[in-house]
Chains A and B, each alone.
Chain A
Amino acid sequence: MAKLFLFGIGGTGSRVVRSLTMLLASGIELPNCQQVVPIIIDPDAHNADMNRTVQLLQTYQQIYKRLGPREEGFFKTDISTLSSISQDVNGSVKDTFVFDFGGINRSFRDYLGYNSLPVESKALVESLFTTDNLESPLTIGFRGSPNVGSIVLNKLAESPEMRFFADNFQQDDRVFFVSSIFGGTGAAGFPLLLKNLKDPNTRLSNARYLRDALTGAVTVMPYFALQSEDQQVIDSNNFLTKTKAALGYYENHLQGLDALYYLADTPDTPYDNQPGGVGQRNKAHIIEMLAALSIVDFMHYTSLELRSGQGPLFHEYGLEGDTAEVQFQHLPTETKDMVAQHLTQLLYFTKYHKQHLPSDDAPYAKNLNLQYALKNEPIFKQLDAFLHNPDFGVDGWFNELSQNRRAFRPFNLATDDFNMMINGKPVETGFFNKGISRNYLLDALNTQEKKVPDDDSFRKLITLMYGVTDEAFRDKVKVV
């Protein structure tokens, strides 16, 4: 059973994993693997982006557990925590999607044992790090300082999580790294992790599998700016400088990588400058979704395709046009084919789930005992949370994407009319054809309900919703 180990490093890593989770929830196919194991590496335990990603992943995991493997549908791909892929003999690995840094609440100075260093070393340290670097606590991450991150993260290789990961690494498993090149944690963590995994002298088990494993990475270059404030530790004016430095390093030091995806955008609206913690909660951005799609793209390649050339394959991404409001027609055909239908289905699902499902008194609902289940069954509550939770749910994700700069706005989220939901592509209606009406959806639900044999009402509901939205898209929307 082939797995994809997905390392999401830093705040950007969390956000890309969130987008990938949404894409997988919408039913996008992830070939060549049966299981995705995200490992989020962020020393900032309070990072809001990370926490809501984790909540989303946990909800997804609960839902998937109930659904199990299927040919197609929402939540098709298994997403599991590292500890759950195998029996952990020691119990030292927690059942979580997040790498456990064991609570580094010391300052970097203490972490280095600065005070006990010999004078020469102290001098070296002072030349490499600013006083600010040394004094800042590590609990909120490396705050855009890869020089700090590289020291701390180098120790990761010796952690129980990494050993457990290596112990359970098998042939055909793949590894993918998500990081930003301009931050602290990501910029430093990605090359370090890669180096440690591919190190021929590593003390990790399954070294050969690790070394031979198909490995990909997406590196997100600056796509947002931060408001410049004098007292802030992160200055987005340094992003480009840092990026240049990192790229220079990558040029010669990325060994064992099979594919590398570069993504970048011109910064527009500055984000609130929050170096980390609960304040770092950024709106979902199209670039994160595209980064998530790079993972999907990577998984589409077979091992032969990836290993055919000399060195890694480098990918960049371009929109059909430079527009502030990206709709489906602005996406390249390949992307559109991959996401348009699935995202539309997911939107229909979440809209229908919110507007109509609780009041549906139709045969399908009665046969599923839906009214009772929605109110009482935990799994239905999980689904509700996944779709509508204001913090991490699907609704919020769509909303954030549409409100960011650049905006990903393929949908009119304000309307309740299913016919008008795709911007620039209203469903054709006529006297006898009401398009995707409530009636149409109800009828489709009732009809498919009769055809789907499933004793599990939750699984049946998901199957129905996928089938009906699929039918609606094919019959009524046809193409975008």
Chain B
Amino acid sequence: MKSFFRALYEVIGLPQPSSETPVYREVIFPNIGLLNIGITLALLVLFYLVINRYMRVATFSRPRHWALFLGLNALIAFVIVIAQANGQNVESHSYIYWLALLNAIYAAVFFFILSLIFRKLSVNASTTPF
């Protein structure tokens, strides 16, 4: 698991400054990865199942609503990286923001890909995003 997240997040290079590498690998990568997946799933469930199925809301299913959730997911993913970095007391470095950006992109990508699965479980958003 750790090595999976390590591979996932080290595509933009090794953590900076390098002194913080162990904390990133041991703590931050798994944390933000799991949080990212968890929050993405939660938002997908909220959008596709809660709102667009169980709550029977039919007017919040357009691509722009979906995009709102995708953006929200990316934003949360960005923020959790900052929060994690602060929480773990790693030395501040612009890398944190690059990592946050990467995480936001992953969040958007996860959201998009998983949308294609979740939409099949939905009623009112079964054709969202397309």
Contact = CB atoms under 8 A, between A and B. Distances in A.
Interface of A: 361-363, 366-367, 438-443, 445-447, 450
A450 B122 CA distance: 10
A363 B125 contact: yes
Interface in B36-61: 56-59, 61
B62 interface: yes
Contacts of A446: 58, 123-124, 126
Contacts of A445: 58
B127 A367 contact: yes
Nearest to A442: B58
Contact of B58 (A362, A366, A450): A362
Nearest 3 interchain pairs by C-beta: A442-B58, A443-B58, A363-B127
Contact of A439 (B58, B122, B127): B58
Contacts of B56: 439-440, 443, 447
Contacts of B127: 362-363, 366-367
A369 B97 CA distance: 44
Contact of B123 (A361, A366, A439, A443): A443
Interface residues of B, number: 13
Contacts of A450: 123, 126
A171 to B, nearest CB: 49
A447 B62 contact: no
Contacts of A363: 61, 122-128
Contacts of A367: 126-127
B56 to A, nearest CB: 5
Contacts of B123: 363, 443, 446-447, 450
A279 to B, nearest CB: 48
Contact of A442 (B122, B124, B126, B128): B124
Contacts of A438: 58-59
From A439, A441, A443, A450, residue with most partner B Cβ within 10 Å:
A443
A64 to B, nearest CB: 30
Given A362-B61, A439-B58, 12 more contacts: A361-B62, A363-B61, A363-B123, A363-B126, A363-B128, A367-B126, A438-B59, A439-B56, A441-B58, A442-B124, A446-B58, A450-B123
Contacts of B128: 363
Contacts of B125: 363
A447 B123 CA distance: 6
From B58, B123, B125, residue with most partner A Cβ within 10 Å:
B58
A462 to B, nearest CB: 20
Nearest to B56: A443
25 contacts: A362-B58, A362-B127, A363-B61, A363-B122, A363-B123, A363-B125, A363-B126, A363-B127, A363-B128, A367-B126, A367-B127, A438-B58, A438-B59, A439-B56, A439-B57, A440-B56, A440-B58, A442-B58, A443-B56, A443-B57, A445-B58, A446-B58, A446-B124, A447-B56, A447-B123
B59 to A, nearest CB: 5
Contacts of A361: 62
A363 B122 CA distance: 10
A447 B128 CA distance: 15
Nearest to B130: A366
A431 to B, nearest CB: 14
A446 B126 CA distance: 9
Contacts of B124: 362-363, 442-443, 446
